Structure 1
Amino acid sequence: MPVLDKKPSRDQGDQNGLPKLPVPALQQTLDMYLKCMRHLIPEEQFRKTKAITEKFGAPGGLGERLQRKLLQRREAKANWVYDYWVEDMYLNNRLALPVNSSPAMVFPKQNFRTPSDMLRFTAHLISGVLEYKCLIDGHALPVDFARGQLAGTPLCMEQYYRLFTSYRLPGPKTDTLVAQNSCVMPEPEHIIVACKNQFFVLDVVINFRRLSEKDLFTQLQKIMKKAESGEENFPPIGLLTSDGRTEWAEARSALIKDSTNRDSLDMIERCLCLVCLDEPCGMDLSDTNRAMMMLHGGGKDKNGGNRWYDKPLQFIVGADGCCGVVCEHSPFEGIVLVQCTEYLLKYMSGSPSKLVRAASVSELPSPRHLHWKCSPEIQKFLTSSAEKLQRLVKNLDMNVHKFSSYGKEFIKKHKMSPDAYIQVALQFAFYRCHGRPVPTYESASIRRFQQGRVDNIRSSTAEALEFVKTMTDKKSTDVEKMEKLCDAIKAQTNYTILAITGMAIDNHLLGLREISKELNLEKPEIFTDETYIASNQFILSTSQVPTTVEMFCCYGPVVPNGYGACYNPQSDHIIFCVSSFHDSPETSSDMFVKALEECLGEMQDLCNTQAGRVTPERGLKRPMKL
């Protein structure tokens, strides 16, 4: 179980006014599961799955027994799915964190003329980080309220308290999410600065006083000078954190045999965050190349070793102006990262902090260079980690595309939800590329509830499939196409409302599966059935990550033959970050982006020709606000 939630929330006051996550009715979930999968699998397979599902949900059967246990769990816990979900989604996953798990926010390109410019920018960034942490520590962040569907509902703020106080510890079978504000690990007062694959301890509080921006700049200069001198150069230990989780756990066990390594690990694991001062990447700084640099650092020959992936926040500042932040995803969702980074970019766009004019701490101690003792065993791990990271770098097929023909204002003008419209466009593009629908993941926030994280909107609806078939059928009229588009958007919107109100199927099925495991039962047939296994292979993994300042989010695919599709709708354009793997013969990010551009264009033409005739709102009952 994750260590993080074994103590009362520091955010208890915010939790008290929020309801607990509901457990949907068993039959509702089973019916919805069959509806979601029917058009995605062959008829014969569906008949078999339907029989298995009906047996599971039969009166007095296993499903009802597990449902009762789940309802008891709901009574006993603040959030019945939280532990199950974080373990299943993240901690039990053995894949390497870069590309496979850790998303990145890509900042606007900076123009550093000198190393001093770079360090001034970094000092200002660190100052902003410390200001933001003060807001969190003082419980001074304003409560978030839901936007989009069912707007105005207050949201759980607990994830913010994990930004600077968590650490993902690798384990042989499962990782552990560690809380640093517990009695085991005291509150951190230092940042780790990575420079030329070396790690330095930057104390941000000395003699009970927070360092001014001027002092931070001075300390960063010392760090850069030490790293460049090469007097004490240690191997790029950070590469180990880019490996598979089991391999990294094994390497860490070898590292901690030595007390020097234990001390260095302790300082990294207890820091507020990392700041990675990167070398120029040697590429043109297109949106696509900057995204790739954020996700994997360019491998062992570039900045791949200048990282520590277990830490939730790694701020990247490249000498060439390639900047952003990489996040370890298990403690918090993308929107929390967006809020944090938007605060920082707004803070930095203002005048330099008042701390620049604050009195300096006299006799600043030199930042400590972390030392490592590397046995032949550890060198072997490093070689293996470096090779695997290189393969990951070569394999990532990334395309960041700014769709400029229109943005969310055009979609709203036609009385449609921008998110639902874009999801239908993604289904259309996938169908155009591959000629079939596939299980699709779209993250939906359930922060309306205590300790809420996300559930899944299953965007590959039967209605979306009908729409894309109609669009590819030359006999269909524009009126028919528009009606099918409205049906698809209505279905997407309705499922979104189910998800954000805690009534979607994925968390519920996960809960039933995990309860059966806790009862030491043989895994129920519904969860060994090929349909259930296929239903969790998300070939299309999508997420809307909107921003109010100039930056964008990106991440990798979650399956070898899949796409990651992150999108940021703005008023007059949409930024798409599409990723896939080169070694899959089925996928191509360029092909997908080209199809997406075409499909969005055809949908625009359709909306313009049919303006005012049909809208998705007609006949759509408005849900009661919670």
Structure 2
Amino acid sequence: MLGICTRTVVKVGMVRPIGLVKSCHLVKPVSATLVTGRYLTQQEGLPRQPLPTLQQTCERYVTTLEAIVEGDELKRAKQLVEDFQKPGGVGERLQESLEKKASNTENWNLFCSGTLPVECVRGIPLCMKQYYQVLSSCRIPGPERDSLVFYSKTDPKYITVAHNCEFFVLDVYNSDGTQLTTDQLCVQLDRICKASPQPSTDPVGILTTQYRKTWDKAYINLMNDETNRESVSAIQRSIFTLCLDRAMPQVSDESSDITGTKQMVHGGGSQCNSGNRWFDKSLQLIVGEDGSCGGNALHVAADGTVIRVFGDAVAACLKDPEMMRSAMEPSPTDMKETESLPMPQKLHFSITPEIKKDIEEAKQNMDILAQDVDLRIQVFDHFGKDVPKAYKLSPDAFIQMAMQLGYYRMYQRCGTVFEANSMRMFRGGRIDGICATSSASAAFVKGFDDPTKQVTEKMDLLGKSIKAHNALTKMAMSGHSIDGHMMTLKDLAVEENITIPEIFKDTSFDKAFDYNVFTSQVTLENESLPVTNLDDPNGYCVCYSVKSNYIGFVVTAINSCKETSATQLIQSIENALLDMRTLLEQSQV
């Protein structure tokens, strides 16, 4: 989705243990006790993200090019790399400038005290800063760039609730500072539903689905009115937004899981629930009349690994029998306590003819975008991570090679594949990318279906490709990914008014970083699946969850792109996984 750019995590659970958002696979939280102040102490001890050397990045960049560029184009690209990194050249100048920035900032790759269990990977503590960016935060449109504003220091005590495209302020704390009980929340939500029985004819929330520059102009119009400013500010400052959705119409050729997933991603269009959102909120929890539930989160505020923890926490509450019993069977005492609660405050908007025109335009664009989403879900239940582990192979690398093989079989060329990698082992770390396409993976996908190659040869190619992927993963985890480094050097040239070096203008640079497939693994404890909106209309997003005996996939593409097909790619990946398992079995004969 070009206009929304969100991540969604959802549990529909109508067919299989499936759901609907996104993350990366490298961070596995371990159990930890809740220690007051530990978050801040741990945070100060985290190292800064290292800055790779120019030579190291250039060498690995050439290795990437060798997998996707050939002939004279590769020869020219190599020469441009040599020119770029020569002593006294522009590359060395940019690197020195970046080193100065790195010495004065917490994290060169990024242009309150609290109480949380500290997450770790293999005993190494992770940056917890993002948890304090998800709640009470909101994206604000701007003429050139958006801003992300955090309101947690004002300590808001309320959430906003959207129902039938109307917005309400719901205090979630009593006057004595205690949280509302489950029964009290149920009563208040029921009051909200009764106060908004019909869909609003002017769904202001749908403006947040617009392309960012268009939304910025509409935002200026909206904020000219004092009533509108107060209502928008209330939404922006709230802890999060709870969206109570109408039932989604069932499409004849679409499974309920896919329909539910689209509900979480974009709301289903202007006639469904797309106006029952404020997509600039960092976190929206969504509940449908049919029981479908999930969330929609901004990547700009936090990465999928953090959103995963929120998703698992919500799912755990839903499984708490005591909490659910209380919601369905409130006691007389509880009912009496709820009667004194103040009515949730409805937020009002002054709709001028100009704003009404903006809303109608947003409806039309949203409907086009919603119809253009090509989304498919597949539970691959033939095997899970146990099979590659039995052969001492990395499950993630094995799946990554299957995705590359599936893509190669469809297009007869190697795709450039991005795999999300968490940098939370460093202070302020976010996401960097693993350029998963390598010379070794290219040799594997080209040789796998070669009838002249023996099983031993193919196993050797598979082993080398997985070894190469593991090395790339290790490099990225240690803060030495080429993606972020090269892109930052390019941006720095613009910032310092330096003539853009030829290396960045060459077609090979676009091929290296204009990824065909964006991939991300996240495995939620509650068995929901991740979904990521697609920014590139000519590519794919593949999110996957890996369990012992199955692998869940969600693939998104764009219907209007005739070169892509989520259905075909997901089937091709499944066939590749089965064929690779057969290869493993044949190697033991």
Once residues 394 and 285 of structure 1 are traced to their aligned partners in structure 2, the CA distance between those partners, rounded to angstroms, is 16
Q: Say yes or no: does 1:506 pair with 2:483.
A: yes
Residues 163 and 331 of structure 1 are in contact (CA less than 8 Å); yes or no, is this contact kept in structure 2? yes
Q: Say yes or no: does 1:210 pair with 2:179.
A: yes
Query: Equivalent residue for 2:27?
Result: none
Query: Equivalent residue for 2:163?
Result: 195
Once residues 301 and 575 of structure 1 are traced to their aligned partners in structure 2, the CA distance between those partners, rounded to angstroms, is 30
Q: Say yes or no: does 1:71 pair with 2:99.
A: yes
Comparing 68-77 with 307-316, greater Cα deviation is found at 68-77
The 5 Å alignment of 1:215-614 reads 215-228=184-197, 233=200, 235-283=202-250, 286-353=256-323, 360=337, 363-611=340-588
- TM-score where L is the length of structure 2: 0.89
| 1:155 alignment partner, one of 106, 110, 126 | 126
Query: Equivalent residue for 2:118?
Result: 143
Residues 444 and 465 of structure 2 are in contact (CA less than 8 Å); yes or no, is this contact kept in structure 1? yes
1:352 positional shift: 3.1
| 1:40 alignment partner, one of 68, 84, 89 | 68
Q: AA paired with 2:93?
A: R
Residues 191 and 271 of structure 1 are in contact (CA less than 8 Å); yes or no, is this contact kept in structure 2? yes
Q: AA paired with 1:339?
A: V
Residues 248 and 259 of structure 2 are in contact (CA less than 8 Å); yes or no, is this contact kept in structure 1? no
After superposition, what is the alpha-carbon deviation per residue over 1:430-458, rounded to whole angstroms, capped at 9, x for unaligned? 00111111221101111111111121111
Q: AA paired with 1:338?
A: R
Residues 478 and 606 of structure 1 are in contact (CA less than 8 Å); yes or no, is this contact kept in structure 2? yes
Unpaired stretches in structure 1, ≥5 consecutive residues = 1-8, 84-136, 614-626
After superposition, what is the alpha-carbon deviation per residue over 1:384-413, rounded to whole angstroms, capped at 9, x for unaligned? 111111111111111100001000011111
Residues 564 and 578 of structure 1 are in contact (CA less than 8 Å); yes or no, is this contact kept in structure 2? yes
Residues 10 and 161 of structure 1 are in contact (CA less than 8 Å); yes or no, is this contact kept in structure 2? no
Once residues 152 and 309 of structure 2 are traced to their aligned partners in structure 1, the CA distance between those partners, rounded to angstroms, is 22
Once residues 494 and 203 of structure 2 are traced to their aligned partners in structure 1, the CA distance between those partners, rounded to angstroms, is 41
Percent of aligned positions that are identical: 35
Q: Secondary structure at the match of 1:437?
A: coil
Once residues 490 and 43 of structure 2 are traced to their aligned partners in structure 1, the CA distance between those partners, rounded to angstroms, is 27
After superposition, what is the alpha-carbon deviation per residue over 1:200-239, rounded to whole angstroms, capped at 9, x for unaligned? 1111123133212111111101000011167xx4511111
Comparing 244-253 with 165-174, greater Cα deviation is found at 165-174
Q: Secondary structure at the match of 2:168?
A: strand
Once residues 266 and 235 of structure 1 are traced to their aligned partners in structure 2, the CA distance between those partners, rounded to angstroms, is 18
Residues 556 and 563 of structure 1 are in contact (CA less than 8 Å); yes or no, is this contact kept in structure 2? no
Unpaired stretches in structure 2, ≥5 consecutive residues = 1-36
Q: Secondary structure at the match of 2:452?
A: coil
TM-aligned CA distance change 1:285 to 1:313, over 3 Å: farther
Q: Say yes or no: does 1:170 pair with 2:141.
A: yes
Q: Secondary structure at the match of 2:519?
A: strand
TM-aligned CA distance change 1:68 to 1:431, over 3 Å: same
After superposition, what is the alpha-carbon deviation per residue over 1:84-140, rounded to whole angstroms, capped at 9, x for unaligned? xxxxxxxxxxxxxxxxxxxxxxxxxxxxxxxxxxxxxxxxxxxxxxxxxxxxx9833
Q: AA paired with 2:259?
A: N
Once residues 557 and 473 of structure 1 are traced to their aligned partners in structure 2, the CA distance between those partners, rounded to angstroms, is 33
Residues 243 and 286 of structure 2 are in contact (CA less than 8 Å); yes or no, is this contact kept in structure 1? yes
Residues 39 and 117 of structure 2 are in contact (CA less than 8 Å); yes or no, is this contact kept in structure 1? no
Q: Secondary structure at the match of 1:300?
A: coil
Q: AA paired with 1:34?
A: V
Residues 38 and 116 of structure 2 are in contact (CA less than 8 Å); yes or no, is this contact kept in structure 1? no
1:557 positional shift: 2.7
Once residues 493 and 584 of structure 1 are traced to their aligned partners in structure 2, the CA distance between those partners, rounded to angstroms, is 33
Once residues 10 and 564 of structure 1 are traced to their aligned partners in structure 2, the CA distance between those partners, rounded to angstroms, is 36
Q: AA paired with 1:189?
A: K
1:361 positional shift: 5.9
Q: Which has the higher contact order (CA 8 A, sep 6+)?
A: 2
Once residues 309 and 500 of structure 1 are traced to their aligned partners in structure 2, the CA distance between those partners, rounded to angstroms, is 31
1:39 positional shift: 2.5
Residues 285 and 322 of structure 1 are in contact (CA less than 8 Å); yes or no, is this contact kept in structure 2? no
Once residues 136 and 41 of structure 2 are traced to their aligned partners in structure 1, the CA distance between those partners, rounded to angstroms, is 19
Q: Secondary structure at the match of 2:107?
A: coil
Alpha-carbon RMSD across the aligned residues, in angstroms, is 1.9
TM-aligned CA distance change 1:10 to 1:243, over 3 Å: farther
Residues 441 and 538 of structure 1 are in contact (CA less than 8 Å); yes or no, is this contact kept in structure 2? yes
